[in-house]
Structure 1
Amino acid sequence: MDGIVDNEKRALRAELRERRQQRSAAALDTAAAGVREQLDRLVAEHAVRSMSCFLSTTTEPGTREFIAAAVARGIRVLLPITRADGLLDWAVAEQEGATAEGMFGMPEPVGELLSPDAVNDVDLLVIPAAAVDRSGMRLGWGRGYFDKTIGSMEKCPPVYAVIFDSELLDEVPSEVHDQPVTGVVTPTRTLVLHH
């Protein structure tokens, strides 16, 4: 059974990746502005003082404008750094923070490394996703970092996945280890998904 789900996930990820690569620069700029507006509102609603986010790649809904603005407002933003053991270290985002290519070619912050436990005291987790379904199940990119992080937290805060509007699906293939999210942030809206 797991092999079938694995193949379904792989096929869906490939299709979503291809769709993302076809977006124009203008569409990506518009999406980034929308994501910033939605995340600004979400952070205000939850009175967030400390949170996690991620440095978006060139094909993801942009988070970098939001991160810069949040740091400027005094919000402590933790950014993930991949480790070979499948866990995430964290670094505090800085106004003019340097980045480097991480283990899988993704942008990661350069700075003092904080342990995987550093994320335990945040008010909000904002994570990447390939797609999310209406029940809150998230399809990641297949490495399991965020599923492990969410699954290991004693007191998990609200978790929102950042996706494009078209990536909110009726259903995504899932397995036992996959962790649901509280909701999604898209360029046009923020939705709470009950699971």
Structure 2
Amino acid sequence: MPRTKTQVRSTILAARRSLSEQQRQAESAALGRHLEMLIAAGSTICAYVPVGREPGSLPALDALVERGVVVLLPVARTDADGEAQPLRWGRYRPGALVEAPFGLREPAPPWLPPEHVAHASTVLVPALAVDRFGTRLGRGAGFYDRTLPLAAPTARLVAVVRDDEVVDHLPADTHDVPMTHAVTPQRGAIELTVRE
């Protein structure tokens, strides 16, 4: 019997919680090295600040900025009814993040509109898992579901995950925007087979 998204989320979050700090730091450093190879100096990307045990790190973003990469970070807000809105974007400046809703950190204003994601050649997307067809499992809030359709058709949409979080199959919804790539600590960048 296929597992639901909720069941898969629960399993992955438990596995992430079991990681030692040494493992997490080693994986973060490996991801940073892969991102340096994947992302061209001088390009514009959208990224994110990892929360808790999410893969990735601020030092990896700092290294990209040092190479002249413009790193845009998400600004997540809901409307008056609590519905997720498309992400706005703020330029990352090392050491200048502020506390934000949902336990996040973000750049201080001014912010760019959601449509600015179309300027990014690569969008690094937080994920709990991704399958070989590009189906991404997020946390279910809907911010990226509302934002990724605004990305440039040529942009690489990259799920940042641990090695065992690239799986054969995930349940998909019609509104899911497929990832074109994944990046993992051991395997590096992986091109995914997007369903037509």
**What whole-Å deviation, never above 9, does each CA across 1:15-48 have from its counterpart, x for those lacking one?**
111111111100010011010011011013xx66
Deviation at 1:63, TM superposition (A): 2.9
**What whole-Å deviation, never above 9, does each CA across 1:110-157 have from its counterpart, x for those lacking one?**
342111122111111111001000111111110121122112335351
Residue identity in the other structure for 1:51: I
Residue identity in the other structure for 2:29: A
1:131-170 superposed matches below 5 A: 131-153=129-151, 155-170=153-168
**Distance across 2 between alignment mates of 1:153 and 1:37:** 25
Q: Is the 8 A contact 1:92 1:111 kept in 2?
A: no
Aligned to 1:98: 97
Q: Secondary structure of 2:56's partner? A: coil
Residue identity in the other structure for 1:82: A
Please say if 1:70 is aligned against 2:68. no
**What whole-Å deviation, never above 9, does each CA across 1:64-109 have from its counterpart, x for those lacking one?**
1111111122111100010114210110000222231x33223323
Q: What runs of 5+ residues in structure 2 fail to find an aligned partner?
A: 80-84
Aligned to 1:56: 50
Residue identity in the other structure for 2:62: A
Q: CA RMSD in A?
A: 1.9
TM normalised by structure 1 equals 0.89
Q: Is the 8 A contact 1:51 1:77 kept in 2?
A: yes
Question: How many residues end up aligned between the 2 structures?
Answer: 188
**Distance across 1 between alignment mates of 2:43 and 2:61:** 13
Residue identity in the other structure for 1:191: I
TM normalised by structure 2 equals 0.89
Residue identity in the other structure for 2:24: L
Aligned to 2:13: 17
Q: Is the 8 A contact 2:117 2:150 kept in 1?
A: no
Please say if 1:39 is aligned against 2:35. yes
